[in-house]
Amino acid sequence: MLMAKVKQDNMPSNDVKATAIGIKHWGWITVLIIILDQASKILADYFLQYHQPVAVMPLFNFTLLYNKGAAFSFLADAGGWQRWFFLVLTTAVSVFIYSWLRKLKPHQVLQYTSLALILGGAIGNLIDRAIYGYVIDFLDVYYDSYHWPAFNIADSAITIGAILLIIDTLKNPHEDS
C-alpha cells in the first residue's frame, strides 16, 4: 500500500500529461514559424536592396523594408520609445499566449494551431525588434500602383492564426479553456 502511494505521488498528474501532449502538438508549429521567419528575413536582408522591388510574379514583389512601428508602420516615426514599448508588449502577449496554450485540452486542436501560429509570429518579430530595433518586411502585394503594407512570414502566421482563432470561437462558442 505504501509502495503504491509512493508510485502514485511520483507519477505526473493528468494536467502535466495534458500539457506535454499539447506541447508536442503545437510546439513544433511555433518553432517552425520562428525558423522560417528568421531564415527568410536573413535571406531578404542579404539579397535584396532596401526599398528596391524585385518582381516575383504579377501582383507580388520582394521589397526589403524596415518597420520601426507596429502593423502598417503604426508609430514608426515616434522617436524610438516604440521599440521598447513593442518589446515589452510582445513579450507580455507571448507569455499570455504560452499560458493559454498550456491550459488547453488535447482535443482543442484548432485553438492549439491558431495560438501556436500567433506565438511563432510574435516571437519572430520580437527577435527582429530586439536585435535590430525594427522588423524586417519584404513581402509586397500590390495592384497597379496600390501596395498593401509590406509584411513577412511572422505577420502571415499571426494573421492566419487570428483567423483560425475566430473560426474556432465561432465554431465552439461555449468551449471552456
- Could you report the per-residue pLDDT of 5-33, keeping only the tens digit for each? 444 445 445 555 555 556 677 789 999 99
Top-confidence residue, 124 or 174:
124
Q: Provide the residue ranges of all domains of the chain, joining segments of one domain with +.
A: 18-143+167-171
* Mean pLDDT score across all residues of the chain: 85
Q: Tell me how far apart the alpha carbons of residues 111 and 108 are, in angstroms, rounded to a whole number.
A: 5
Number of residues that make up the chain: 177
Query: For the stretch 26-57, what's the b/e string if a residue is b when 16 or more beta carbons lie within 10 angstroms of its beta carbon?
Result: bbebbeebbebbbebbeebeeebeeeebeeee
Rg, the chain, Cα only: 20
State whether the Cα torsion 134-140-142-148 is positive or negative: negative
Q: Tell me how far apart the alpha carbons of residues 115 and 167 are, in angstroms, rounded to a whole number.
A: 12
State whether the Cα torsion 156-159-165-171 is positive or negative: negative
Q: What is the dihedral of CA 41, 87, 66, 37, to 10 degrees?
A: 20
Active-site positions read 137, 155
pLDDT tens sequence across 66-124: 987 666 555 555 566 666 787 898 999 999 999 999 998 888 989 999 999 999 999 99
Q: What is the pLDDT of residue 177?
A: 47
Q: Tell me how far apart the alpha carbons of residues 156 and 44 are, in angstroms, rounded to a whole number.
A: 16
